[in-house]
Amino acid sequence: MGGYGYAHDLVGGYSTSEDKIIYIVNHLLSYITAIFITHCTTPNCAMITVNLDMRLESLQSEQKGNKPRGHQSVAIYVQEIWKVGGYGWVTSAHAAIQNATPAQTYWRTMLPQTPIPSSIQEVLRQAKEMNSFEMERAPTVFISYKCAASDNQIHNDPNVPLFFLKKSLKSGTKKTLDLTKIISTPPFLSVERAQATPFSSSKLMEILNIFKIERDSAEAVAIQRTLAECEELPLDGERKRCVTSMEAMVEFIKAELSSSDVHVVETTVTGGADQGVPRQEYVVGIKGAHRVGAEALASCHPEPYPRAVYYCHTTSNVEVYKVHLVGANGVAVEAVATCHTNTSTWDPNYMGFKMLKVKPGTEPICHFLPLGHLIFAGLSKEDSFAL
């Protein structure tokens, strides 16, 4: 009954049963194509989708100019459009599965109910070999809660505005933010190469030689910092691992969340993507924010490195929110924010404390996540809340 009611609402304005059938078929194929775009991650997905869209649009235009009448004509039209759209999607999806990389197959086997997030799809599409990497913004400082901030960082670090107090998270609040990615997207190493490639501060010179990085370059400094962060001891109640392959990321998430029912949230551009997300003023939109409820949470943060490296960790006393932001340039962003409700063991000189002028263990410290950062919610459901 529910499905029939939905279809009836969609086609209520159509005068004949033939029109209704045609509309439903067209609408269904558009929906299938949207699913395909979301789940297909092979390099030829865009070409397949554009080709299908063009053929469907052509066939649908012909239908508008020469509308079929009678059940027989409608049946022929439905058969033709299914051959173009439905069958084309099925065969393309089969080809995509056949061409899936071992990492993609591993993700879909271990997390069958969790689509590969868009930022990871971008990493997978990055097939070129990279011997260097380009920093697009200063490294995110909220990863290490033992890190003390200098006065110079407070005034000059672009990450500072990402911090805020939970009570300010309400519709109409204005914030100047930089939500750009931390680095250009490097590819993952295969799991075999990741296991065979050194990843340790004690092997720094060997790592620089492998990736052909100059010893005194900015990239070398970033690599050294990444290795140091990954080797820090975890805080009380924190479990962490720096992963250098997609398989390692999946293993960490499965082990820590103890579930295959995992929901992934990340900051995404939902409108005006061509405008970009530069440092600018954003306002919390009328949709406000809502909390992502879960029995367990883990996060993975991209680190500056010649290949994809993510700092993955779990912490207790964390709340995750999805916040609707509208930028001064018109871009619409569904931003992810995390609020840490117990900061009593953090460094008193941590950047968030200095910026917000609060002390450890007092008010919750919150921060937005730029593009490319991931939150994994086990057994998640979304609970709305009003601020």
pLDDT of res. 43: 47
Other C-beta atoms closer than 10 Å to the C-beta of 316 total 14
Helices (H), the chain: 2-10, 17-39, 45-65, 70-81, 87-98, 102-110, 118-125, 151-156, 191-196, 204-210, 218-231, 246-257, 351-356
pLDDT of res. 341: 87
DSSP states along 248-289: HHHHHHHHHH--S-EEEE--EEEE-GGG---SEEEEEEEEEE
- pLDDT, tens digit (0-9, with 9 covering 90-100), for 353-373: 888 888 888 888 888 998 899
**Whole-number Å distance between alpha carbons of 259 and 111:** 9
Single-letter amino acid, residue 185: T
Which tokens hold the place of 380?
């998640």
**Whole-number Å distance between alpha carbons of 66 and 87:** 23
**Which parts of the chain have pLDDT scores under 50?**
1-14, 41-43, 68-71, 77, 129, 131, 137, 148-150, 154-156, 380-387
Q: Where are the domains of the chain?
A: 2-99, 103-194+234-384
**Whole-number Å distance between alpha carbons of 376 and 198:** 27
For the chain, the C-alpha Rg in angstroms (whole number) is 24
pLDDT of res. 380: 45
Of 100, 80, 98, nearest in space to 29 by CA:
80
**Whole-number Å distance between alpha carbons of 305 and 184:** 10
**Whole-number Å distance between alpha carbons of 63 and 198:** 60
- The answer for residues whose C-beta is within 8 angstroms of residue 60's C-beta and 6 or more apart is 26, 81
CB of 355 within 8 A of CB of 369? no
| Residue 81 burial by Cβ neighbours in a 10 Å radius (0-12, 13-18, 19+) | buried
Please enumerate, as own/partner, the contacts of 23-28 that have beta carbons within 8 Å and a separation of 24 or more.
25/78, 25/81, 25/82, 26/56, 26/60, 26/81
**Whole-number Å distance between alpha carbons of 307 and 199:** 11
**Whole-number Å distance between alpha carbons of 168 and 298:** 24
pTM value > 0.85: no
> Given CA atoms 375, 376, 378, 380 in this order, what sign does their dihedral have?
positive
Buried b (16+ CB within 10 A) or exposed e, 92-109: bbeebeeebeebbebbbe
**Whole-number Å distance between alpha carbons of 3 and 332:** 31
**Whole-number Å distance between alpha carbons of 140 and 304:** 10
Q: Which residue has the tokens 């919750």?
A: 364
pLDDT of res. 15: 53
**Whole-number Å distance between alpha carbons of 312 and 302:** 9
